[in-house]
């Protein structure tokens, strides 16, 4: 028995090694990795779609996920049989290679952090598989490959586009808590993210999940050694509370701004759909009033119990999800 994954809906496909055409039980799509009767090929047959070789593995590009500040981001699959799904981040300009190397280094550092919670929180940041310069159309471009995390499909930009008047307060609060948890671990590991912006927060609408990407301007941090940001996103310039001597309060403020924005606020001192008590807390966080993410979570939990009652399952409605 082998397990493959449906290229249409991602559900697991079970089939005997001898069987060539496999039908997805969930969506009915047929997977044909070879001709009927032919031996099962060891890799996806070349059908003309774009392939890219990075660090000895060839990836089939399945589609574009996003256009970032400095890179194009694709959804891809390692062509080998049972090859994993990945995210391929392809730098547009070679002069930004240092940023991509920096991101890779900080992701590795966090994945190996001795801080409590690494096993749990490493799953909330991209997992690096490879980083290498690749020749694309005659030009050398730095390419990073990361493991695909199923379900983390929507950035907060898409959430806001889908809910222009703001999400329910319960959704805003679980998003804030998930962000604070990953920031708390990152700060305890001596790393500040620096750019907690809507395009860098990926939401799992059903599982109350949030993942933090875009670590290229992350920096080392300790109580007595604070550094400035090495770059900022022009498009989101007004979202950075500070550029020098940044520490945990900077990340917490940016996370709070994201949460106000997803709640429908058009400025960082408007509540959107948040009830007054929680909105006050968010305003304070957004102006740098909290410098410990762990303690901020406690405050958020206390306040949301008062304003919203006991925590409840509160999925986010997004296209493509039946919840």
Ligand X SMILES: Nc1ncnc2c1ncn2[C@@H]1O[C@H](COP(=O)(O)OP(=O)(O)OP(=O)(O)O)[C@@H](O)[C@H]1O
Binders of ligand X among residues 238 to 297 (CB under 6 A) are none
Can you tell me which of 77, 88, 103, 104 binds ligand X, judged by CB under 6 A?
103
126 in contact with ligand X (CB under 6 A): yes
Q: Which residue is nearest to ligand X (CB)?
A: 68
CA gap 192, 15 in Å, rounded:
46
The strand pair at 209-212 and 201-204 is best described as antiparallel
Among 73, 85, 230, 318, binds ligand X (CB under 6 A): 73
Residue partners of 192: CB distance under 8 A and separation at least 6: 186, 218, 219, 221, 246, 247, 248, 250, 251
The Cα–Cα gap between 4 and 11 comes to: 8
Question: Could you tell me if 219 and 195 are in contact, meaning their C-beta atoms sit under 8 angstroms apart?
Answer: no
304 near ligand X, judged by CB under 6 A:
no
By the rule CB under 6 A, 232 interacts with ligand X: no
Structure tokens at 218: 């992350």
Q: Give the number of residues in contact with ligand X, rule: CB under 6 A.
A: 21
67 to 106: interface string for Mg ion, x by CB under 5 A: -xx-------------------------------------
Q: Which window, 48-56, 62-70, 175-183, 186-194, contacts ligand X (CB under 6 A)? A: 62-70
Q: Which stretch binds Mg ion (CB under 5 A): 72-80, 121-129, 167-175, 214-222?
A: 214-222
3-class SS string, 66-113: EECCCEEEEEEEECECCCCEEEEEEECCHHHHHHHHHHHHHHHHHHCC
**Which of ligand X, Mg ion, none has residue 216 at its interface (CB below 5 to 8 Å by kind)?**
ligand X
Residue of 193, 208, 190, 167 lying closest to 252 (CA atoms): 193
Residues that bind ligand X (CB under 6 A): 65-66, 68-71, 73, 87, 89, 99, 103, 126, 146, 152, 155, 199-200, 202, 213-214, 216
């Amino acid at each position: 028995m082998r397990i493959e994954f449906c290229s249409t809906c991602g559900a697991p496909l079970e089939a005997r090694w001898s069987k060539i055409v496999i039908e997805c039980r969930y969506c009915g799509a047929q997977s044909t990795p070879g001709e009927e009767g032919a031996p099962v090929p060891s890799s996806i047959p070349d059908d003309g779609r774009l392939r890219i070789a990075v660090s000895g593995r060839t990836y089939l590009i399945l589609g574009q996920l996003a256009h970032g500040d400095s890179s194009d981001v694709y959804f891809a699959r390692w062509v080998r049989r049972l090859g994993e799904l990945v995210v391929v981040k392809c730098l547009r300009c070679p002069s930004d290679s240092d940023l991509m190397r920096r991101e890779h280094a900080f992701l590795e550092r966090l994945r190996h952090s001795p801080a409590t919670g690494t096993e749990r929180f490493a799953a909330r940041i991209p997992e690096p598989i490879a980083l290498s310069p690749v020749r694309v159309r005659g030009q050398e471009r730095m390419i990073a490959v990361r493991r695909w995390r199923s379900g983390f499909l929507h950035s907060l930009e898409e959430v806001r586009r889908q809910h222009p008047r703001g999400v329910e307060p319960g959704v805003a609060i679980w998003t804030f808590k998930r962000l604070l948890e990953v920031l708390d671990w990152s700060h305890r590991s001596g790393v500040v993210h620096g750019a907690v912006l809507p395009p860098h927060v990926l939401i799992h609408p059903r599982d109350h999940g949030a993942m933090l990407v875009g670590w290229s301007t992350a920096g080392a941090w300790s109580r007595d050694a604070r550094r400035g940001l090495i770059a900022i996103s022009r498009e989101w310039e007004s979202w950075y509370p500070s550029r020098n001597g940044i520490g945990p309060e900077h990340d917490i403020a940016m996370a709070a701004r994201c949460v106000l924005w997803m709640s429908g606020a058009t400025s960082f001192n408007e509540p959107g759909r948040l009830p007054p008590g929680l909105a006050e807390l968010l305003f304070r966080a957004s102006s740098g009033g909290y410098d410990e993410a762990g303690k901020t979570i406690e405050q958020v939990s206390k306040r949301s119990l008062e304003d919203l009652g006991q925590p409840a399952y509160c999925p986010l409605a997004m296209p493509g999800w039946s919840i």
